[in-house]
Structure 1
Amino acid sequence: MFSSQSIVYAWDNGLRYALALLDDLTDEQMVLRPGGNMNHPAWILGHMALYYPIVPALLRGETFADPADDDLFGFRGHGPLPDHTIYGSKESQLQRLREGHEKVAQALLAATDVQLNRPPSLPRWAKMYPTVEFMLPDLLLLHENIHIGQLSIWRRAAGFSGVDFPDRTPRAGLIASL
Structure 2
Amino acid sequence: MNTIEFIRSGLEYSKNWTCTLLDDMRDTPFVEPTPRGGNHPLWVLGHLIVNESVLLDEWIQGKPNRFPEYHELFGYGSTPVANPTKYPAYDEIRPRFDEIRQDTLAYLKQISEDDLDKPSHYTKDPFYNTVGNCFQAMIMHPMSHSGNVTDARRAAGKPPLMT
- Which residue is equivalent to 1:59? 60
Q: Is the 8 A contact 2:127 2:133 kept in 1?
A: no
Q: Which amino acid aligns with 1:71?
A: E
Q: Which secondary structure state, in structure 2, belongs to the residue aligned with residue 13 of structure 1?
A: helix
State the Cα distance separating 1:87 from its structure 2 match: 2.6
Q: Which amino acid aligns with 1:98?
A: D
- Which residue is equivalent to 1:153? 151
Q: Which amino acid aligns with 1:133?
A: G
Looking at structure 2, the residues matched to 42 and 88 of structure 1 have their Cα atoms a distance apart, in angstroms, of 9
State the Cα distance separating 1:98 from its structure 2 match: 1.5
- Which residue is equivalent to 2:35? 35
- Which residue is equivalent to 2:109? 109
Looking at structure 2, the residues matched to 56 and 76 of structure 1 have their Cα atoms a distance apart, in angstroms, of 19
State the Cα distance separating 1:25 from its structure 2 match: 3.0
Looking at structure 2, the residues matched to 45 and 80 of structure 1 have their Cα atoms a distance apart, in angstroms, of 11
Q: Which secondary structure state, in structure 1, belongs to the residue aligned with residue 13 of structure 2?
A: helix
1:18-51 Cα deviation digits (max 9, x unpaired): 2221334344x20122413221001111111112
For these two proteins, the number of residue pairs brought into alignment is 157
Q: Is the 8 A contact 1:42 1:84 kept in 2?
A: no
Distance 1:10 1:113, change over 3 A: closer
State the Cα distance separating 1:63 from its structure 2 match: 5.2
Structure 1 alignment gaps of length 5 or more: 166-178
Could you state the TM-score of these two structures normalised by the residue count of structure 1? 0.73
Q: Is the 8 A contact 2:116 2:130 kept in 1?
A: yes
Q: Which amino acid aligns with 2:31?
A: L
State the Cα distance separating 1:160 from its structure 2 match: 1.4
1:55-95 Cα deviation digits (max 9, x unpaired): 144333x1557x9xx43223322x11222243322222221
Q: Which amino acid aligns with 2:156?
A: A
Looking at structure 1, the residues matched to 142 and 18 of structure 2 have their Cα atoms a distance apart, in angstroms, of 10
- Which residue is equivalent to 1:162? 160
Higher helix share: 2
State the Cα distance separating 1:96 from its structure 2 match: 1.4
Between the two proteins, what is the percent identity of the paired residues? Answer: 23
Looking at structure 2, the residues matched to 26 and 73 of structure 1 have their Cα atoms a distance apart, in angstroms, of 17
Structure 2 alignment gaps of length 5 or more: none
Q: Is the 8 A contact 1:59 1:111 kept in 2?
A: no
Tell whether 2:82 aligns with 1:82.
Answer: yes
Tell whether 2:63 aligns with 1:99.
Answer: no
State the Cα distance separating 1:164 from its structure 2 match: 4.7
Q: Which amino acid aligns with 1:30?
A: P
Q: Which amino acid aligns with 1:153?
A: D
